[in-house]
Amino acid sequence: MTAPLRIDGETKVFPIIGHPIGQVKSPASLSQIMADRGFNGIVVPAHILPEDLSAWLDQAGALRNCDGIIVTVPHKGPCFSHCTRVTARARAAGAVNIMIRDRDGWLGDATDGQGFMDGVAAEGFDVSGKPALLVGAGGAGSAIAYEILARGATELAIHDIDAVRRDTLIERLKVFFPGRVRAGSPDPRGVALVANATPLGMREGDPFPVDVDLLVPEQFVGDVVTKPAITPLIAAARKIGCATMPGSGMFSAQAVLLAELLMGVRKLEIAD
């Protein structure tokens, strides 16, 4: 049985910011996690245009019952520069998806990779000692790339249609994981994990992020897209016989992590 939400003068308010914002599913689930744990807090969507972001963050700093902000596209990169300190994951990604108030400003972290790989692990796949392919070098993809390597992948190939963005991410990751990251392609042959961190599959008629005809049953395929629940990539991979994780797996794994960070149950491991 779920606990009722509590909203009063002592409620902590945690905005989730993005442009657009109508697609986000997390406000209700995160707020419910807090209520079920007896924490007086609520997560609310905030539609912020990129040109208004800096001014909005200044105002959020003045909101004394706002101790945290969740960040979605396209603000993950810009919000990185508004943090006074960040985790190693965020530094490698060059982006943040959560900001926690500190006495000196905002602390930033990039938890998309943890959520993605926790969801993959929940399906019984361990990337340690195996090669991987990641498609998408944006904010979420950057965090996922770091986490794939941090969990022991022997090599990570990264593909993105924006070669500059891809190469920039590779250079950042080389600082933490020298000799284990390179440029890739949509060809998934030779890897054990195929991870899609692009929005491809969200809209009808989108091309596949990888060449699905080259997938083999021994591979694991994960996707960040939550709508539709089963993307064309996941459907194609399952038809071939691959084990899979749809975007809902990442969403569920990350919800608890984000809620605990906002509530202060977990603390950020800030890089030196």
Contact call for residues 75 and 17 (beta carbons, < 8 A)? yes
DSSP per residue, 44-92 = EEEE--GGGHHHHHHHHHH-TT--EEEE-TTSHHHHHTT-SEEBHHHHH
SS3 209: coil
Contact call for residues 184 and 160 (beta carbons, < 8 A)? no
Phi and psi at residue 235, in whole multiples of 5°? -60, -45
Taking alpha carbons only, the member of 233, 195, 27, 178 closest to residue 117 is 195
Rounded Cα distance between 243 and 263, Å, is: 34
Active-site residues: which are they?
76
Rounded Cα distance between 126 and 82, Å, is: 35
Contact call for residues 194 and 200 (beta carbons, < 8 A)? no
